[in-house]
């Protein structure tokens, strides 16, 4: 059953903090009494990584779900590459975006906010025939959160990614690791808001504001 509000979390690249942002958002929503669920269509990782630190486990801890519910075990690839590349290396077969989307199962009792987190950057392959742009297009979420770094390169990365995302969907840029005392961070955020007309939220510090946006308030 589709959640009342569906949010897709994408990033300008790898290691910008998509999972951290997602977990903070889920925890904030739950603390406000909102029912949530999290899904990771596919994840890849190094074989020696701590299972508790994997994306699905972190998201599950925040949403109150088992990691195996957040990301199906068959879509967990123990090679640190884009999921379809990791699947090729492991000899585990090709998969399509339609398959990933079809495998997303939500709780039988409808939740208020469902979160789907992509892998890598906006144009990083998520399946053999699609990326995060294709995921957004297929799911038609109520809101997309674009997670970006706060420092050098932010403006270019955000502009490229917002230009690639499908039109007609609300996009909120989450400037992660934001420091209100860092002049570059402040100027980047101001430029994105005033020059590019984007909706920008800074984390940490504005979790409640982000939660209200996700809830459509």
> Of 210, 217, 216, 188, whose CA–CA distance to 31 is shortest?
210
**Residue with tokens 């090709």, as numbered in its chain:** 94
| E strand or H helix that includes residue 115 | strand 113-117
**Residue with tokens 């486990």, as numbered in its chain:** 57
What's the CA gap between 12 and 123, in Å, rounded? 9
Residue-level length of the chain: 217
Catalytic residue among 5, 40, 72, 189: 40
> Which two tokens mark 7?
């949010």
CA of residue 129 relative to chain centroid, distance:
19
Active site residue 18: no
Is 93 within 8 Å of 87 (Cβ atoms)?
yes
Torsion of CA 203, 207, 213, 216, to 10 degrees: 160
> Which two tokens mark 168?
């007609």
Which residues are the active-site residues?
A: 40
């Amino acid at each position: 059953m589709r959640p009342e509000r569906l949010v897709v979390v994408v990033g300008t690249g790898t290691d910008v903090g998509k999972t951290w942002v997602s977990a903070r958002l889920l925890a904030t929503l739950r603390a406000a009494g909102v029912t949530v669920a999290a899904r990771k269509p596919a994840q890849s990782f190094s074989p020696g990584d701590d299972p508790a630190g994997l994306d699905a486990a972190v998201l599950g801890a925040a949403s109150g779900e088992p990691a195996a519910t957040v990301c199906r075990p068959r879509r967990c690839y123990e090679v640190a590459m884009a999921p379809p590349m990791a699947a090729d290396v492991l000899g585990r077969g090709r998969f399509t975006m339609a398959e990933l989307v079809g495998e997303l199962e939500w709780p039988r009792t409808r939740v208020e906010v469902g979160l789907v987190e992509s892998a890598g950057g906006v144009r990083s392959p998520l399946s053999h025939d699609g990326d995060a742009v294709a995921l957004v297009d297929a799911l038609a979420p109520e809101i997309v959160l674009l997670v970006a770094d706060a420092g050098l390169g932010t403006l270019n990365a955000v502009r490229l990614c917002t230009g690639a995302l499908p039109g007609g969907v609300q996009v909120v840029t989450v400037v992660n690791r934001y420091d209100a005392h860092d002049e570059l961070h402040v100027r980047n955020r101001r430029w994105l808001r005033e020059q590019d007309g984007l909706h920008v939220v800074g984390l940490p510090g504005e979790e409640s504001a982000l939660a209200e946006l996700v809830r459509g308030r």
